[in-house]
Structure 1
């Protein structure tokens, strides 16, 4: 599907973009890959990595600017929406800015994609959008709902919108692993000993996006099955036998990550490697094409990091860290 196509990724200079772009160029050989973001320095640095690849283009712009989005989307077939205000405390203290990017930006992108006749859009979501306890999660839940509903009014262009949702990306910039590594000669700050997190690699996140593009009929939320880990085990993997210090949960932070809430269970189907939440609107949750041989989960089902059936061992994370030292925290 993606072979020979034109693909645009918003927020493309972030962690996801640094992995999605080279993997997609290698696997699908798209005709054009457009990186749309507002940070000129990140684009300047990223451009050096692809200076000999004529398929890669850079476009300065902000998802808050609908006109600029429309210009960038001209001739684009597929879009990955990764642009967002993501840091939980930052969103709590700067709520207006978070809403402008995560909600208004989503609305702008939906309208612009429909107007420009984009074929398919996959938007990135977060565990924090499931039963949100902070502003970031609330804005991403709103964004998810907007993308799902976008399928209802895409009109004759028939632009399709779907969502992928995943939790803590291992080793990404600003995440817990590079933070712990930067503190290795100091006590590691732990918010709460009971805290758990889902663990997913960027490569797994890219694979889920590829799957969504192939499988989607519009309105689905894709959730990959991934292992959980306790925060103290993550600390042990980074600094064996190291000292820890309990510092308390930050504003808006959850004790556990949740990908699928009990309210979504009636519309959720299970597959070998993932779950799929189907839209409750328009009867789409009963559409055989969207269900596609899935098995409906039990009533009351919750997919949460503390009750997960799959857990990552300390040794497995330590091995992953040792094999990925060169890129942890770099992107």
Structure 2
């Protein structure tokens, strides 16, 4: 029996790539009574409703997480929240920093406050590898949001609401992925642009990401930051798998872009435990009586980075992966 049986779940950013996959997963693999989709784009909601079809389990809310009062209305009667709404384009954030702050930080605090007031039982917030040792505005806002959600447990526990965070790398096949662009360029005989030929990235399928989020929601106690143990890949290997005969054109790194990604910093390693297929980063301050999990403690001072990862996807692995998306 699952905690989600006969419950109400709300997904912020529910019309994004992961939100759509979460809706499909919940409809097909759970006994959730009600799924509320909260997003600000009426066209995306319209298209998704047409794609899914009418279903009595679904509720559709147009709203922005910047709007606290609208969140309070949408969260009425909700048991669980998956917070996926965010502004995410790295270069856009460098040019429009305050807009990212309003959504990713102030909007996240609105989600926290509205969830506590509504009596939500659990909330899991989605983070990004760019939030670890951030060098761009997007990563800095997501790191701040991560800390807001973890720290919220210091006062929310007495209300019965707990918060945790899930952090993972690039999602293969999601909206904004470079793969469709590369396929299009290769089909027209053009070279594939790569910012730096040395670049590495963590990568996870959207199905794996959904399962990891749902598992984390089930097992969380509040205050954990969950990180999956996933493979890295070289961007040149991905390009070769997408278009084996295409030329590669090194175009230089974009503003705020990292050569390699990181999901757990060296400073955070002393608070990190490996449990099965995931790392658990424990909170810096935990006044609600948090107990560290039983697992293998990560070596102190060792960061979890894409270029030093011990798990790698080969070109063949990537090609097999691409046939499934």
**Interval containing the TM-score (normalised by the shorter chain):** over 0.9
Superposed counterparts of 1:211-250, under 5 Å: 211-250=215-254
Per-residue CA deviation, residues 173-194 of structure 1 (Å, 9 max, x unaligned), is 1122222222212100010111
Residue 76 of structure 1, CA deviation: 0.2
Residue 126 of structure 1, CA deviation: 0.2
Per-residue CA deviation, residues 195-243 of structure 1 (Å, 9 max, x unaligned), is 0001101111111111111211111100001110111111100010310
Superposed counterparts of 1:219-298, under 5 Å: 219-282=223-286, 287-288=290-291, 290-291=292-293, 293-298=294-299
Superposed counterparts of 1:168-183, under 5 Å: 168-183=170-185
> Structure 1-normalised TM-score?
0.94
Give the gaps of 5 or more residues in structure 2.
none
Residue 131 of structure 1, CA deviation: 0.1
Contact 2:119/2:159, CA 8 A, preserved across alignment:
yes
Question: What secondary structure sits across from 2:164 in the alignment?
Answer: strand
Q: Distance in 2 between matches of 1:34 and 1:15?
A: 16
Q: After TM superposition, which residue ranges in structure 1, 4 or more long, deviate above 4 angstroms?
A: none
Per-residue CA deviation, residues 147-179 of structure 1 (Å, 9 max, x unaligned), is 001101115322100000011100111122222
Give the gaps of 5 or more residues in structure 1.
325-331
> Which of 29, 36, 53 is the equivalent residue of 1:51?
53
Match of 1:135 in 2: 137
Residue 300 of structure 1, CA deviation: 1.2
> Which of 178, 190, 197 is the equivalent residue of 2:194?
190
Q: Distance in 2 between matches of 1:189 and 1:313?
A: 21
Q: Distance in 2 between matches of 1:12 and 1:246?
A: 35
Match of 1:66 in 2: 68
Q: Distance in 1 between matches of 2:168 and 2:224?
A: 14
Matched, 1:209 2:210: no
Q: Distance in 2 between matches of 1:123 and 1:133?
A: 21
> Which of 147, 150, 154 is the equivalent residue of 1:148?
150
CA RMSD of aligned residues (A): 1.3
Q: State the number of aligned residues.
A: 321
Residue 322 of structure 1, CA deviation: 2.1
Contact 1:50/1:56, CA 8 A, preserved across alignment:
no
